[in-house]
């Protein structure tokens, strides 16, 4: 059963690999044979309709990467050169990169320790202590820049506390964009994702729960803005000729990616169940291990459980880099996770508030293998490998 996993003398378990197979291959072959490879055609429309239905959105705009979706969402809500956009420091680089692509600068806030998502209390403190109303909108007093949007990140597929964040921003009229890159399938207080923010952005990069190779999409509670994202993604073209009504982008998803996406979307339920089972297995296996904590549990809905793993504190006798090395030597192909943005040299001077939680936890996060195709024996192998390391440490 394990033969396929043997590489040389020992088995390896990858961190997260795409779960694609015969159905996706058939769909691609069919589209290519029929000549549907560009961004124009029924395949992209069908994928968008599926995404809209899955997220409670009136429509969806499919793009060639999640980063592009974030960029266009920011442009669509009016983010301009010189603006500030609030996001958590604890995120993948794409969130802050897209803010810069839109000509703005990130302003970093801390996360809460329970969900690892943008802390509404920190946002409230920023608004009351450092912001004032100006003629162009909400102004960040220390620099006089406009705060043009707020972008919470749905860390590991867990929505942020969106009721609290909306309650702060709605009275101020500040646009809210959710970086839900890995959260497709999550819910918040029983509600679907599209209703939680003006625009919500997904990624279908190779390590996300559903993948199109590279890809992304934007949905939202504001259909006018979703339409605007689709317009911007297709060179802001009007009609079928060469008329354009503003500076546009060539960011549209292709038909080849879209047919893979539609097959993947039909398997979303299966993938989410696999991800939840993986998290439950790790939580069970390491409960009570000294110095080992669990990844966040859903607190206000259901998480898509994109990555599962453990949080490792000094009491365990290990650091995450030491565990990564020891596990890699046993064929468990883990690596460290997100390094906060305010610790990246090019973002070190960007405005921010306290990073108390982010700095306490980021180096303790160790994602463990969580492919939706992981076999029960592989999961056991990973758990045994981690356990044996902790045991050895305890004996020493
Ligand atoms: C994956 C990811 C993205 C970027 O998506 P791409 O499709 O790779 O451009 C953005 N934000 C977060 C939090 C992500 O995990």
Which tens digits make up the pLDDT trace of 11-43? 899 999 999 999 999 999 999 999 999 888 899
Distance 91 CA to ligand 1 centre (A): 9
Which tens digits make up the pLDDT trace of 247-279? 999 999 999 999 999 999 999 999 999 999 999
Distance 67 CA to ligand 1 centre (A): 6
Nearest-atom number in ligand 1 for the CA of 306 is: 15
Nearest-atom number in ligand 1 for the CA of 98 is: 10
Tokens for 42?
Answer: 């029924």
Nearest-atom number in ligand 1 for the CA of 65 is: 7
Distance 154 CA to ligand 1 centre (A): 11
Residue 396: per-residue pLDDT: 63
Residue nearest to atom 14 of ligand 1 (CA): 181
Of how many residues is the chain composed? 396
Q: How many helices (H) and strands (E) does the chain have?
A: 12, 18
Distance 68 CA to ligand 1 centre (A): 9
Nearest-5° angle of CA 128, CA 133, CA 136? 140
Question: Can you tell me which residue has the tokens 């949905």?
Answer: 219
Distance 94 CA to ligand 1 centre (A): 6
Distance 95 CA to ligand 1 centre (A): 7
Nearest-atom number in ligand 1 for the CA of 207 is: 1
Residue 40: per-residue pLDDT: 86
End-to-end CA distance of the chain: 35
**How many Å apart are CA 143 and CA 107, to the nearest integer?**
11
Nearest-atom number in ligand 1 for the CA of 154 is: 13
Q: Dump the DSSP string for 4-27.
A: GGEETTEE-B-S------HHHHHH
Distance 241 CA to ligand 1 centre (A): 33
Distance 22 CA to ligand 1 centre (A): 26
Q: Is 102 exposed, middle or buried (0-12, 13-18, 19+ CB in 10 A)?
A: buried
Tell which residue, 395, 371, 276, 287, has the closest CA to residue 12: 371
Specify whether the CB–CB gap between 202 and 217 falls below 8 A: yes
Residue nearest to atom 7 of ligand 1 (CA): 66
Specify whether the CB–CB gap between 95 and 104 falls below 8 A: no
Residue nearest to atom 2 of ligand 1 (CA): 181
Distance 215 CA to ligand 1 centre (A): 9
Residue 392: per-residue pLDDT: 74
Nearest-atom number in ligand 1 for the CA of 182 is: 15
Specify whether the CB–CB gap between 108 and 350 falls below 8 A: yes
Residue nearest to atom 5 of ligand 1 (CA): 66
Distance 153 CA to ligand 1 centre (A): 10
Residue 28: per-residue pLDDT: 97
Pocket of ligand 1, beta carbon within 6 A: 65-67, 91-92, 94-95, 153, 179, 181-182, 203, 205, 216
Nearest-atom number in ligand 1 for the CA of 204 is: 7
Q: Which of 182, 257, 305 to mutate to test the pocket of ligand 1 (most atoms within 8 A of CB)?
A: 182
Specify whether the CB–CB gap between 355 and 89 falls below 8 A: yes
Distance 240 CA to ligand 1 centre (A): 32
Residue nearest to atom 6 of ligand 1 (CA): 66
**How many Å apart are CA 349 and CA 343, to the nearest integer?**
9
Give the residues of the chain that fall short of pLDDT 70.
1-10, 394-396
């Amino acid at each position: 059963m394990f033969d396929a996993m043997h590489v040389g003398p020992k088995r390896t378990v990858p961190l997260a690999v795409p779960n694609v197979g015969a159905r996706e291959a058939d769909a691609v072959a069919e589209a290519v044979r029929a000549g549907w490879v560009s961004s124009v055609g029924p395949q992209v429309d069908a994928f968008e309709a599926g995404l809209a239905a899955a997220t409670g959105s009136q429509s969806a705009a499919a793009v060639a990467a999640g980063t592009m979706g974030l960029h266009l969402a920011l442009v669509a809500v009016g983010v301009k050169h010189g603006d500030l956009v609030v996001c958590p420091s604890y995120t993948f680089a794409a969130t802050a990169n897209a803010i810069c692509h839109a000509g703005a600068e990130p302003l970093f806030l801390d996360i809460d320790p329970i969900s690892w998502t943008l802390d509404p209390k920190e946002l409230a403190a920023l608004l009351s202590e450092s912001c004032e109303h100006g003629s162009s909108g909400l102004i960040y007093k220390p620099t006089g820049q406009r705060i043009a949007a707020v972008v919470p990140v749905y860390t590991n597929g867990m929505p942020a506390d969106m009721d609290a964040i909306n309650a702060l921003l709605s009275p101020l009229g500040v646009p809210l964009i959710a970086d839900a890159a890995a959260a497709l399938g999550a819910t918040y207080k029983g509600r679907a994702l599209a209703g939680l923010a003006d625009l919500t952005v997904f990624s279908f990069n190779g390590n996300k729960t559903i993948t199109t190779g590279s890809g992304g999409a934007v949905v939202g509670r504001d259909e006018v803005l979703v339409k605007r994202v689709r317009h911007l993604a297709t060179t802001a073209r009007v009609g079928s000729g060469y008329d354009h009504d503003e500076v546009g982008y060539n960011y549209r998803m292709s038909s080849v990616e879209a047919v893979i996406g539609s097959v993947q979307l039909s398997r979303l339920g299966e993938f989410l169940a696999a991800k939840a089972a993986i998290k439950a297995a790790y939580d069970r296996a390491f409960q009570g291990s000294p110095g080992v904590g669990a990844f966040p549990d859903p607190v206000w809905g259901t998480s898509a459980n994109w990555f599962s793993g453990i949080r490792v504190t000094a009491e365990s006798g290990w650091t995450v880099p030491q565990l990564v090395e020891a596990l890699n030597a046993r064929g468990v192909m883990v690596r460290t996770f997100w390094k906060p943005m305010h610790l990246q040299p090019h973002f070190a001077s960007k405005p921010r508030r306290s990073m108390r939680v982010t700095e306490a936890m980021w180096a303790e996060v160790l994602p463990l293998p969580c492919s939706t195709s992981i076999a029960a024996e592989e999961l056991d192998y990973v758990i045994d490998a981690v356990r044996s390391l902790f045991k050895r440490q305890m004996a020493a």
